[in-house]
Chain A
Amino acid sequence: MSAPRGSTSSGPYVELRGISKRFGGVQALSDVSLTIARGSIHALVGENGAGKSTLGKILAGGIQHDAGELIVGGRAVRYRSPHDALVDGVTIIAQELALVPQRTVLENVFLGVESRTLGVVDRRALLRRYERLVERSGFALPPSMPAGALRLADQQKLEIMRAIARDARLIVMDEPTAGLATDEAKKLFADIRRLQADGVTIVYVSHFLDEVLSLADTVTVLRDGCHVRTAPAAGETRDSLIGSMLGRPLTTVFPPKAPPPPDAPAVLSVRGLVRGRVVRGVDLDVRAGEIVGMAGLIGSGRSEVARAIYGADHRDAGAISVCGRRVDPRSPRHAARAGISLLPESRKHDGLVMLRSGVENITLPHLDGLSRAHVVAPRRQRGAAAQMGARVGLRAGRERAPVFTLSGGNQQKVLFAKALMHEPRLLIADEPTRGVDVGAKEAIYELIVSLAAAGMGVLLISSELEEVLGLAHRVLVMREGRLVGAFADGEATEGNVMSAAFGAVAEGRSR
C-alpha cells in the first residue's frame, strides 16, 4: 500500500513565504511558509479551523492572501480568481463539489473550455476530446448522463476529469474521501497515484490521518493558522501527527466520566425504528444521566436516526417513548414538547438564522413562554438569552451580536443554549463540535458531561471517534442503517468500534 515515495518528485513547484489571511476578526492563517515539491503528494493536516482549507483555496485562487508571497513554478503570483490559477495549471476539487447537477457529464467536464466554432459549441469535437480524456484518465463515465444523477464517487471522478481536461499541473483536493465508502476511497487513492505518475502535483487536505500516512509523500501540520512542521510522511505516525495538531497529548482533552447509577430510568426508548432504506430497524435506550455515543461511517444512518426521533423526518415505523410514556413526534414541535432537543448536524443549514442575533436564535423555539398574548417581551427575552448564554459558557454580551459575526465555537454555544432552554429530558447532539477550535471543543465536552451529571440523557453522534470514546458511557455502532455493535464503557476501543463500523471487510481506514 505504500506510495512511490519521492520517485517522481523533483525540486520545488510551489513556495509559500509568510502567507497570512484574516477573515473579519479571525486570523485564519498567520505567517505560513512551506514548499511543495513538483510531482509529490503533499498532505495538509490539522484540526478543524487550523487553516487547511483556507490554504488550499489561496493556492487555487478561490481567496486571496493578505500578506506574504506565493511562488508557483519560480514566479511570484497573486491569483485573483480560480480562473487565474487555472491558467497557471492550478485547480481545486473542493469539499462541496462545483458541478452543475442538471447538465451532462460532457458539458460539465468542458464547462468554460468548450470546443467552439464561431461561438457555437461543437458537440462532436467535444465527444472526441472526451474519448481521449477517458483514455488518459481511465474513468469511463457516461457522457450524456446528468452530473447530478452520478454517485458521489463518480462526481468526484468527474471533477478530476475536469481538472485533467484543463491540463492542471497541481490539484488541491479538499477532504476528497468525506462521504465515500471504503472501497471507493481506495479506488480514489489509486487514481491519485496515477495522476502523480503523470507528473501532477497533489495537495491533499484531509482529516483522516491513516489515509494521509499511506498516501502522502510529505505532510504539513497546521495548528490555529500557524505552520507547525513539514516532514516526510514516512517518518510520521498517527500519534505524532495528532500530538502536533493538538499541541499536547490526546488524553488530557476529556473530562472524567461519571456513569449514571445502575437503576437510572430510561429517558428514551426506541423500538423498531425504520425510515426507508437508511434506517432499517433500530432499537436503542438512553438512561437518565447517560451519554450514549453513536459511531459509524458517514452515511451509516446515524443522523437519520436522530432526525426521525426528533420528528424532523418522517418515520415509516417505530415506537418511541420518553420517560416511559409513548410519544409520537410527527414534527420537531411535538418532539420538543415531549422533552426532546436536537442539536443539528449543520448549524449553518439547520441550526441558526445567521443574520439574526444570538438572543433571537436562542429564544426562537421558546418565544411563547417569553411573550404575553403573542407580544414578545424584549427585556425578558434578552434576560433569558443571557442566562442561557452564561450557562453554556458564552461570554456575556456575545449573545447580542448577529451570529454570523461569531466564531464557530461561539455559534455552537448559541445552538446549545437554544437547545437547552426548555430543559429537555433528552439531548440529541449531532456532531456537536464540528468546525470549532480546540478550546471551544473542551468547553463543549465539559458542558455535555455536566448536563448528563445533572440527569439529562444524551445521545451523542460524532464522526470523531476519540470524541465518542472519550465522552460516552456506552457506544453504539451503526452500519448501513442498522445497529451492529454495542460496547460498554470498558469494552469500547478504537479497534473494535471501527471494525464494527466497517463490517466484515474492515481495514485500517479509521475516521
Chain B
Amino acid sequence: MTAHDGSYAAEAPPRGFAPRVSLDALRDYGVLISLVALFVALSIASSAFLTQTNLLNILDQQADLGIIACGATLVIVAGGLDLSVAAIFALAGVMACKVANETGPLLGILAGCGVGLGVGVLNGLLVTVGRMNSFIATLAMSIIVGGVALAVTGGSQVIVEDDSFRFFPQDALVSGLTRASVALVIVVTVAWFVLARTTFGRYVYAVGGNAEAARLSGIRVNVVRGATFALSGLGAGLAGVIVASRVSSATADAGAGLELTAIAAVVIGGTSIAGGEGAIWRTVVGVLFLALVGNGFNLLGVDPLYERVVTGALIVLAVSIDAWARRRRS
C-alpha cells in the first residue's frame, strides 16, 4: 500500500462513531419518537388515557398480537413470511378447548401450543425441504389449517365448562398485570434474547441477509429458516390458547386478519421486509404504536373506520422510508 492509500482515507468513517445522517436516524428511531409523541399527545387529549387501568388494558389486549408479531419478526428477519399464523391461532384455540373438554384443562393448553408448533414445523419443511416460496406455502397452509378448524368445530363455538381452563383470566395477577400480559413480557424477552444474543439469532440475520454466504460459512440454512417458522407457529399457538382460555371458548374463524396486522406491526417498527435487518424492540414499538392509534380513536370518539386508513398510511410511510434508505446505500 503505497501511493494508493489515499483512496482508503476518502472512505466514510465507520458508523457508530460519527453521528448518523438524518435519513438513517429517521429510519432507526423515527418510529420510537413517533410513539413517544403519540403517547404524550393522547395523555394531553384524553383524561382517560393516562390511567393505570387503560394502560394495563392496552397491554392485556395486545398479548396475542404481540406474541404473534415476535414470531413474525424472526421469520421476516430470516427472509421469509408467515401468513398462516391467524389460522394456527384459531385451530390452536379450538384444539385447546376440545382437548380440555375430553381430558383436562392443562392438557388442552399444551395441545393448543403443540398444534401451533406442529403446523409451524410443517411450514418450515415446506419452505426448506420442499423449496416452496414461503408466501405461497404459508398461504396454502393457512387455508388447510382454517379448513381443519372448521371441520373440527363443525362451524360452531366450542365452550369449555371447567373453570380451571381459564388459565389466563382477565383479572390482575401481579401489580395489575394479567397473566396474558406477563406471558407477553416473557415471550418478548425470550425473543429479544434469542435474536440479539444467541448464535441462532446471528444466523437468522445472516440467512436473511445473504443465504448463500451463510451456507458457505457452514451455517445450516434450512435448519435456521425452518426453526423460525416453527417458533412462529408455536407463538401463534400460544396466542390462540391465551385468547381461548380468556373466554373459555373458541371458534374456527377467530383471529381473522391477525397475520396481516402482525406483519404490519413488524414493518411499522422498522424491520425490513427484505430480511436481514430488524429487531424485537422494533416490533414491540410497532405493536404499541398500532395499539395507541386504536386506543386513541376509541377514547377520542373518532369513527373507528378511519383507524384502518391511518394504519394503512403508517405502513406506506414505514416501507417507503425503508426503501429509500435501502436505495441510497446500493
Q: Indicate if the CB atoms of B4 and A25 lie closer than 8 Å.
A: no
Q: Indicate if the CB atoms of B7 and A375 lie closer than 8 Å.
A: no
Closest to B328 in A: A24
What is the minimal beta-carbon distance from A254 to any residue of chain B, in angstroms? 14
Asked whether A376 is an interface residue with its Cβ less than 8 Å from the other chain, the reply is yes
For chain B, the bracket of interface size reads: 35 or more
Q: Indicate if the CB atoms of A27 and B14 lie closer than 8 Å.
A: no
Q: Indicate if the CB atoms of A353 and B17 lie closer than 8 Å.
A: no
Cβ contacts under 8 Å, A312 to chain B: 215-216
Q: Indicate if the CB atoms of B210 and A352 lie closer than 8 Å.
A: yes
What is the minimal beta-carbon distance from B224 to any residue of chain A, in angstroms? 12
Tell me which of B128-136, B198-206, B308-316 binds A.
B198-206
Q: Indicate if the CB atoms of A350 and B216 lie closer than 8 Å.
A: yes
Q: Indicate if the CB atoms of A440 and B1 lie closer than 8 Å.
A: yes
Asked whether A344 is an interface residue with its Cβ less than 8 Å from the other chain, the reply is yes
- Most chain A CB within 10 A, of B11, B12, B217, B218, is at B217
Knowing A356-B205, A401-B14, the reply to whether A351 touches B8 (Cβ < 8 A) is no
Closest to B210 in A: A353
Partner of A405, one of B1, B11, B277: B11
Cβ contacts under 8 Å, A437 to chain B: 4, 7
Knowing A354-B210, A376-B202, A398-B14, the reply to whether A439 touches B218 (Cβ < 8 A) is no
Q: Indicate if the CB atoms of A365 and B198 lie closer than 8 Å.
A: no
Partner of A25, one of B10, B198, B201, B212: B10
In the complex, chain B residues 280-330 whose Cβ is within 8 Å of any chain A Cβ: 329-330
In the complex, chain B residues 172-224 whose Cβ is within 8 Å of any chain A Cβ: 197-203, 205-206, 209-210, 212-220
Asked whether B276 is an interface residue with its Cβ less than 8 Å from the other chain, the reply is yes
What is the minimal beta-carbon distance from B73 to any residue of chain A, in angstroms? 16
Partner of B11, one of A25, A344, A356, A364: A25
A395 to B219, CA, bound (A): 28
Residues 361-396 of chain A, each 1 if its beta carbon lies under 8 Å from chain B, else 0: 000110110010011100000000000000001010
Q: Indicate if the CB atoms of A351 and B213 lie closer than 8 Å.
A: yes
Knowing A375-B197, A401-B14, A443-B1, the reply to whether A356 touches B276 (Cβ < 8 A) is yes
Knowing A336-B218, A371-B199, the reply to whether A400 touches B213 (Cβ < 8 A) is no
Q: Indicate if the CB atoms of B15 and A376 lie closer than 8 Å.
A: no
Cβ contacts under 8 Å, B13 to chain A: 401
Asked whether B163 is an interface residue with its Cβ less than 8 Å from the other chain, the reply is no
Q: Indicate if the CB atoms of A349 and B212 lie closer than 8 Å.
A: yes
Asked whether B51 is an interface residue with its Cβ less than 8 Å from the other chain, the reply is no
A361 to B4, CA, bound (A): 26
Cβ contacts under 8 Å, A224 to chain B: 4, 7
In the complex, chain B residues 124-168 whose Cβ is within 8 Å of any chain A Cβ: none
Residues 326-356 of chain A, each 1 if its beta carbon lies under 8 Å from chain B, else 0: 0000011101110000101000011111111
Closest to A378 in B: B197
Q: Indicate if the CB atoms of A376 and B206 lie closer than 8 Å.
A: no
Q: Indicate if the CB atoms of B1 and A442 lie closer than 8 Å.
A: yes
Residues 93-136 of chain B, each 1 if its beta carbon lies under 8 Å from chain A, else 0: 00000000000000000000000000000000000000000000
A356 to B201, CA, bound (A): 13
Q: Indicate if the CB atoms of B12 and A405 lie closer than 8 Å.
A: yes
Q: Indicate if the CB atoms of B197 and A364 lie closer than 8 Å.
A: no
Q: Indicate if the CB atoms of A353 and B4 lie closer than 8 Å.
A: no
Closest to B200 in A: A374
Cβ contacts under 8 Å, A499 to chain B: none
In the complex, chain A residues 221-264 whose Cβ is within 8 Å of any chain B Cβ: 224, 247
Cβ contacts under 8 Å, B16 to chain A: 400-401
Residues 300-311 of chain A, each 1 if its beta carbon lies under 8 Å from chain B, else 0: 000000000010
Cβ contacts under 8 Å, A376 to chain B: 197-199, 201-202
Residues 66-106 of chain A, each 1 if its beta carbon lies under 8 Å from chain B, else 0: 00000000000000000000000000000000000000000
A407 to B276, CA, bound (A): 21
Asked whether A143 is an interface residue with its Cβ less than 8 Å from the other chain, the reply is no
In the complex, chain A residues 400-439 whose Cβ is within 8 Å of any chain B Cβ: 400-402, 404-407, 409-410, 418, 437-439
Asked whether B2 is an interface residue with its Cβ less than 8 Å from the other chain, the reply is yes
Closest to B329 in A: A404
What is the minimal beta-carbon distance from B14 to any residue of chain A, in angstroms? 4
Partner of A350, one of B10, B198, B202, B212: B212
A434 to B209, CA, bound (A): 22
A360 to B219, CA, bound (A): 14
Cβ contacts under 8 Å, A410 to chain B: 8, 11
Q: Indicate if the CB atoms of B11 and A26 lie closer than 8 Å.
A: yes
A244 to B146, CA, bound (A): 69
Q: Which 9 A-B pairs have the closest CB atoms?
A: A439-B4, A401-B14, A353-B209, A333-B218, A25-B12, A365-B217, A25-B11, A367-B199, A353-B210
Residues of chain B touching chain A, judged by Cβ–Cβ distance below 8 Å, are 1-5, 7-8, 10-17, 197-203, 205-206, 209-210, 212-220, 276-277, 329-330
With A336-B218, A439-B5 already in contact, 4 other A-B pairs whose C-beta atoms are closer than 8 Å: A312-B216, A353-B276, A374-B199, A410-B8
Residues of chain A touching chain B, judged by Cβ–Cβ distance below 8 Å, are 24-27, 224, 247, 310, 312, 331-333, 335-337, 342, 344, 349-356, 360, 364-365, 367-368, 371, 374-376, 393, 395, 397-398, 400-402, 404-407, 409-410, 418, 437-440, 442-443
List 19 A-B pairs, Cβ < 8 Å. A25-B11, A25-B12, A332-B215, A333-B220, A351-B213, A353-B209, A354-B209, A354-B210, A360-B206, A364-B206, A375-B197, A376-B202, A397-B14, A397-B17, A404-B329, A405-B12, A407-B11, A418-B217, A438-B4
